[in-house]
Structure 1
Amino acid sequence: MYLKTIAKILMGFLLISSLNAQKSNINKANEVFEAYSYIDAREIYLNVVKEGFESPQVFQKLGDTYYFNSEYSDALVWYQKLMEKYPNGVPPVYYYRTAQSLKSTGKYQESKKMMGQFASLSADTELAKNFMNDYPTLDSLVDFKSKEFEVYNVTELLTNSDFGPSFYGEDKLVYASASGNTIGDQTHDWSGLPYLDLYEAQLDKEWRLTKPKPLEGEINTPYHEASATFTKDGKTVYFTRNNYKNGRKRKNKDKLTNLKVYKAIKLDDGSWGNVEELPFNDNSSSIAHPALSHDEKRLYFSSNMEGTIGESDIWYVDILGDGNYGAPTNLGTKINTEAREAFPFLSESNNLYFSSDGHLGLGGLDIFVISLNEDGAYKEVTNLKQPINSNKDDFGFIIKEEKKMGFMSSNRDGNEGSISDDIYRIWEICGEIVIQGVISNAKTGEAIKNATVQLLNKNERVVSETKTDEQGNYRFGDFLNCTEKYTINATYRDYGSNQKSLTTPRGSDVVQTDLELTPPECPVDDLGCRLTLQPIYFDYGKHNIRPDAEVELAKILQALKEYPELKIHIESHTDSRSSSSFNLGLSERRARATMQWFIEKGIARNRLTAKGYGESMLLNHCANGVQCSDDEHELNRRSMFIIKN
């Protein structure tokens, strides 16, 4: 009996000791959690649950350690346990996070029901209003997949996390990476990944990343650097960094290390230096993901600073020059919600692209766009839909709209949350490509009718052939491939041939390719040129054959006698002086007078034709109203003798 009593007392002490230990563990986990050390906090909470101790708080925090690392399927496990075991008094935000996690695992109908419960508890929030207004369209959003764009992972061979692309000049991309950290060997408590550095990579012709290397100079530190934006001249960069000074992280009153926006200047040796913190940062909040407007007069960013509607909002400051900036301005409830809005990007047409999990999306962060111009195409916040968005996190979207090419970040191809972040190339799916152009005379600029135009592939094989129309136009289409090398080859009679190579673009486009062909010094059918005739002159306003012209015509006559099968067409042209109708009639009379001269010399009429063209085929710029010399006008006043087939 005595032994049993002692045993019970000992068990009681052990139980109390165990309870106290677990409370201590939970308190420690809470401290770690509040410091955003989610990986460390997670291990403590998991051990607490393993020992058989549960509470709504433990399930909430466990779910959050996964949710805020974008590990939505694991977050869902703990949120559902919370709903099942403690259905009363669950904070509304956990209905929202559960709904988001359900969407990210493809359970859209269950997500809608959970969002309905959230909306009933939080009807006045922007999140609830967005859901109530838009939820009928969720099914169509899920089922719709744009055929306009294709998405390709350009960093899938890199380990860990790569995200936040930024254009740097015409042929480089800068991005944040934990895949090859070169500054320090620490890992971050939040995600368990190495700290991020900024890298730059060359873009090849397929917009893939080549030759990645860390940015040189004073930008990268032993802690986080990410999300850069560059001025168009490439000499200034704004970027995100941990609150870091004199080699050490700085913490706020809650012992948290916030994010801040910094600026650096490109030095003469090509490295980055003169790093300075922007004056609107503060130690009590995070400011991140800077993005310059196209005119470089505003800097946009995301922040949870005082005045933020949700977990993070999109803000901007005016850049005033001389290191001065305007006061931070929140973009308001049309864009920002009580959830997360981040990663802004401004296009050349002033479209704001950003990521959000507060507007209706497919799950996790989705990418949205809204025009900041009143007459812009996107009047309301618009989801970019699949394949740009997925049921995972999609963010850090940048685009060159005129080329319909860009990049984004996503963890869609992995199941490890932010560890699975990769950079994806976006470009327009190959549509209708047309190659067209005009074939013209290199000397006169005159369009060439019936020129032969061939389309050759990259192996120099003819894949199509056509003739130019009355205006010298040709066209190839309907069967051309995107990003394919082709050659256009043009020929006409005894003119010199000409060709031009090109590579077709992405998407749908018309590629204008004009070619000029150089006529021979003496065209094969120009008998007058071959016989080196001098100009055949007529008296002004007259059409009778002058004696000096007969000397030249005698050369043609001799050729006609020597070659009985030879037939010729006589063309007569004038300059632009006098009226067009007068010149046309005059040239017609001169052409017929010339033909009559040959007939009177014994040449059969059926071997001769004649026509006057007036001033319709000028050889130079000397048209009506243009001041020209007599010599310039004389070039147009000519007779030609064309050999007929």
Structure 2
Amino acid sequence: MKKHLHICITIVTAFLSNGFAQQGKIVSADKKYDNYAYIDAIKTYQRVAEKGYKSEDLFKKLGNSFYFNSEFEKAGKWYGELFAMNTEIEPEYYYRYAQCLKAAGDTAKANQMLDLFNQKSKNDKRAKLYEANKNYLEKIKANSGRYTIENAALNSKYSDYGTAIYENKIIFASARDTGNFNQRIHKWTGEHFTNLYQADIDEKFNPGAAKKFKSKINTKFHESTPIFTKDGKTVYFTRNNYINGKKGKDENKITLVKIYKATFENNQWSNITELPFDSNNYSTAHPALSPDEKTLYFASDMPGSMGQSDLYKSTINANGQFGTPENLGPGINTEGKESFPYVTDQNEIYFASDGHPGLGGLDVFVGKLDQNGVTNIQNVGADINSPKDDFAYIIDTKTRRGFFSSNKDGGKGSDDIYQFLERIPLICVQELYGTITDLTTGEVLPNTKLSLYSDNLKIIATTYSDSNGNYTFPVECGTMYFVRAEKEKYYTKEENITIPKENGKTELSIALEKSDCVVTIGDDLGKCFGIKMIYFDLDKSNIRTEAALDLEKILDVLNQYPKMKLDIRSHTDSRATYKYNEALSDRRAKSTIQWLIKNGITPDRLTGKGYGETQLVNKCSDGVPCTEEEHQMNRRSEFIITAL
């Protein structure tokens, strides 16, 4: 993407005089480069390079000038010259060169450079992500083929990007206004400064003719990426550090970008103010609102950022004041650029990044927002993403229609807006369903309690079978669950199941056995109530996951019969020495007792002893060859009723 004002938050705007003395000299080009006038710097550097002058500094700055304008293939040419002179340079150039190689289609060499980047940057999040996702291209391929995409009819031959929906209109930034005498040219990109434009859209998000957004929001400098509140009375937007006719600058005399707020009063946008966490010395940009409009998300390179730009959030209090910005953390932010957040009513955050593994330049990613921050980050696929910059993704979650921006090949301008329909959701959706029946008669069992547990035994949901004995649970793909079925006069039963990794439905029907047991002293509670023996791993005394589920059934019975007492008898297989097995089984008995005590059973109701290998249930004594499954039968705990 050529307009780095709207991509990286280190974006600046250089307001320079038209003439530079001594064109063709390195010192002149360096001054332009240092003032972010990359278009002019490129012209000078290229003249010098074409005359045969070579230096690492020249190739770095020439490559960077193209790279910061997202002309990756041109940048790759000069980074290639740099690496031809010296391969022992700063690790960042390995990463930038890899991004350029991806843009040129040389993925194999790009991955070689990323391997070297990983070796030289062990603490860089981008290196760690690459190392952990060597198969990232396969994952991107798996997420592709889900969209119908077309170039939006409103695009011009100039830069058009960054959309928002407002009163059945699309509002976007464009550099198409070239006729205004006061409209300046941005030295970074060589294009005119952007203003906000609008176009009507129909129910399929097809835009009509574009026209300028008539408002005091537009100035002679950059405006972009607005977000409107649902009532249409407030807008947040990105603009150069310029308000009330005054231009602010940082300590290096550079004008950065800020987020501004305006309100709609008396049929016009007014009361334009900067947000309280804005600063002259760092950039804030690309605001997004949470669905409840109580949180503002944005991008910034403020102090404390991990990379070139990070994603942040700030609470919006009832009185309209803003909380202290919070970095969204290392789950989403890298040493690269994270920008253009968009938050949906499904707790998703879409964003653009060149730090997470992608196809080159900025790619669009999506993650889940939860109490742990941002999790399950995925590349949305090669329909949206390309080897160039792809960003500013917004979607209507009901129609699955939306817009994104890109400078991918085949567009009308340097950046174009694309409209899309997401036909297949990225997040895999599964439904777990089944029928509860009587084991003997096959009769359906309505009103059976079903409990869904995670693989670490945390309860997720509870439901009851309907009049036809049917139940359903929404579940996640590729995840293992435990399902417990409970009904009066039937043995409680649990089943585990692993959900497939594709969209669809998974059946788990459960047949329950009637409970005709009358407990008496001396009975084995496990046999009476259909409870499995409590199994242990070889040479271990800790409670296994499936064992804890069975212990919960023991716990339930003890709670139903408050006078019941148990003698817990633990056993081992015949492997290891007699003395060791006796000690191991005793530890297992104590481990089982402690679990029950921890969960509310008083110690006076429990006794226990380890019997080692003295009470084997099969032939597997010392010297007898047995399978692991046969040995497993001997590693057990039993529950003998001693009082009622």
TM-score range, shorter chain: 0.5 to 0.7
Q: Quote the sequence identity (%).
A: 42
1:411, 1:421 within 8 Å by CA — same for their partners in 2? yes
TM-score, normalized by length of structure 2? 0.60
Return the alpha-carbon distance in structure 2 between the equivalents of residues 216 and 387 of structure 1: 34
- Superposed CA deviations along residues 204-232 of structure 1, whole A, max 9, x for unmatched, are 24422213222222100000000100000
Structure 1 residues 597-612: aligned runs within 5 Å: none
Q: CA RMSD in A?
A: 2.4
Structure 2 residue 109 is the aligned partner of structure 1 residue 131: no
Letter of the 1:29 partner, please give it: A
Return the alpha-carbon distance in structure 1 between the equivalents of residues 91 and 22 of structure 2: 27
Return the alpha-carbon distance in structure 2 between the equivalents of residues 141 and 430 of structure 1: 16
- Superposed CA deviations along residues 533-592 of structure 1, whole A, max 9, x for unmatched, are xxxxxxxxxxxxxxxxxxxxxxxxxxxxxxxxxxxxxxxxxxxxxxxxxxxxxxxxxxxx
Paired residue for 1:344, among 320, 324, 341?
341
Residues 1:79 and 1:230: Cα distance change in structure 2 (over 3 Å): same
Instruction: Determine the structure 2 residue equivalent to 1:635.
Output: none
Tell me the secondary structure at the aligned position of residue 166 of structure 1: strand
Paired residue for 1:254, among 245, 252, 255?
252
Instruction: Determine the structure 1 residue equivalent to 2:230.
Output: 232
Instruction: Determine the structure 2 residue equivalent to 1:51.
Output: 51
Instruction: Determine the structure 1 residue equivalent to 2:409.
Output: 413
TM superposition shift of 1:148? 2.5
Instruction: Determine the structure 2 residue equivalent to 1:291.
Output: 288
TM superposition shift of 1:321? 4.1
Aligned positions, number: 405
TM-score, normalized by length of structure 1? 0.60
Instruction: Determine the structure 2 residue equivalent to 1:613.
Output: none
Tell me the secondary structure at the aligned position of residue 320 of structure 1: coil
Residues 1:415 and 1:95: Cα distance change in structure 2 (over 3 Å): farther
Return the alpha-carbon distance in structure 1 between the equivalents of residues 424 and 338 of structure 2: 32
Instruction: Determine the structure 2 residue equivalent to 1:176.
Output: 173
- Superposed CA deviations along residues 156-193 of structure 1, whole A, max 9, x for unmatched, are 75121000011113x21111111235763311000001
Instruction: Determine the structure 2 residue equivalent to 1:73.
Output: 73
Paired residue for 1:272, among 269, 274, 278?
269
Return the alpha-carbon distance in structure 2 between the equivalents of residues 95 and 375 of structure 1: 32
1:318, 1:326 within 8 Å by CA — same for their partners in 2? yes
2:226, 2:238 within 8 Å by CA — same for their partners in 1? yes
TM superposition shift of 1:390? 1.4
Return the alpha-carbon distance in structure 2 between the equivalents of residues 133 and 62 of structure 1: 32
Return the alpha-carbon distance in structure 1 between the equivalents of residues 74 and 153 of structure 2: 25
Structure 2 residue 159 is the aligned partner of structure 1 residue 165: no
2:331, 2:375 within 8 Å by CA — same for their partners in 1? no
Structure 2 residue 363 is the aligned partner of structure 1 residue 363: no
TM superposition shift of 1:151? 1.1
Structure 2 residue 330 is the aligned partner of structure 1 residue 333: yes
Letter of the 1:128 partner, please give it: A
- Superposed CA deviations along residues 231-280 of structure 1, whole A, max 9, x for unmatched, are 000110000000013324322111211000000111222x2111111111
Instruction: Determine the structure 2 residue equivalent to 1:580.
Output: none
- Superposed CA deviations along residues 461-487 of structure 1, whole A, max 9, x for unmatched, are xxxxxxxxxxxxxxxxxxxxxxxxxxx
- The structure where helix makes up a greater share of residues is 1
Instruction: Determine the structure 1 residue equivalent to 2:611.
Output: none
- Superposed CA deviations along residues 280-321 of structure 1, whole A, max 9, x for unmatched, are 100110100000111111111101110111000001111124
Residues 1:394 and 1:202: Cα distance change in structure 2 (over 3 Å): same
Return the alpha-carbon distance in structure 2 between the equivalents of residues 375 and 309 of structure 1: 18
Residues 1:414 and 1:251: Cα distance change in structure 2 (over 3 Å): farther
Return the alpha-carbon distance in structure 2 between the equivalents of residues 24 and 284 of structure 1: 32
- Superposed CA deviations along residues 509-555 of structure 1, whole A, max 9, x for unmatched, are xxxxxxxxxxxxxxxxxxxxxxxxxxxxxxxxxxxxxxxxxxxxxxx
Letter of the 1:97 partner, please give it: R
Return the alpha-carbon distance in structure 1 between the equivalents of residues 411 and 295 of structure 2: 37
Residues 1:22 and 1:222: Cα distance change in structure 2 (over 3 Å): closer
Structure 1 residues 123-522: aligned runs within 5 Å: 123-138=122-137, 140-141=138-139, 143-144=141-142, 146-155=144-153, 157-169=155-167, 171-180=168-177, 184-269=182-267, 271-373=268-370, 379-414=375-410, 420-429=414-423
Tell me the secondary structure at the aligned position of residue 130 of structure 1: helix
Tell me the secondary structure at the aligned position of residue 208 of structure 2: strand
Query: Structure 2, unaligned stretches of length 5 or more?
Result: 1-20, 426-502, 504-644
Letter of the 2:196 partner, please give it: L
1:141, 1:362 within 8 Å by CA — same for their partners in 2? no
Return the alpha-carbon distance in structure 2 between the equivalents of residues 151 and 199 of structure 1: 22
Instruction: Determine the structure 2 residue equivalent to 1:583.
Output: none
Residues 1:60 and 1:430: Cα distance change in structure 2 (over 3 Å): closer
Letter of the 2:315 partner, please give it: D
Return the alpha-carbon distance in structure 1 between the equivalents of residues 77 and 299 of structure 2: 30
TM superposition shift of 1:35? 1.9
TM superposition shift of 1:107? 1.3
Instruction: Determine the structure 1 residue equivalent to 2:120.
Output: 121
Residues 1:403 and 1:131: Cα distance change in structure 2 (over 3 Å): same
Letter of the 1:243 partner, please give it: N
Letter of the 2:393 partner, please give it: F
Return the alpha-carbon distance in structure 2 between the equivalents of residues 49 and 212 of structure 1: 42
Tell me the secondary structure at the aligned position of residue 348 of structure 1: coil
2:354, 2:362 within 8 Å by CA — same for their partners in 1? yes
Letter of the 1:108 partner, please give it: T
Return the alpha-carbon distance in structure 2 between the equivalents of residues 23 and 55 of structure 1: 18
Tell me the secondary structure at the aligned position of residue 228 of structure 1: strand
TM superposition shift of 1:379? 3.7
Return the alpha-carbon distance in structure 2 between the equivalents of residues 22 and 95 of structure 1: 33
Return the alpha-carbon distance in structure 1 between the equivalents of residues 322 and 176 of structure 2: 35
Residues 1:208 and 1:180: Cα distance change in structure 2 (over 3 Å): farther
Return the alpha-carbon distance in structure 1 between the equivalents of residues 379 and 173 of structure 2: 25
TM superposition shift of 1:403? 1.4
Tell me the secondary structure at the aligned position of residue 337 of structure 1: coil
Residues 1:424 and 1:24: Cα distance change in structure 2 (over 3 Å): closer
Q: Which has the larger radius of gyration?
A: 1
Letter of the 1:66 partner, please give it: F
Structure 2 residue 63 is the aligned partner of structure 1 residue 63: yes
Instruction: Determine the structure 2 residue equivalent to 1:83.
Output: 83
Tell me the secondary structure at the aligned position of residue 135 of structure 1: coil
Tell me the secondary structure at the aligned position of residue 376 of structure 2: coil
TM superposition shift of 1:29? 2.0
Tell me the secondary structure at the aligned position of residue 280 of structure 1: coil
Tell me the secondary structure at the aligned position of residue 76 of structure 1: helix
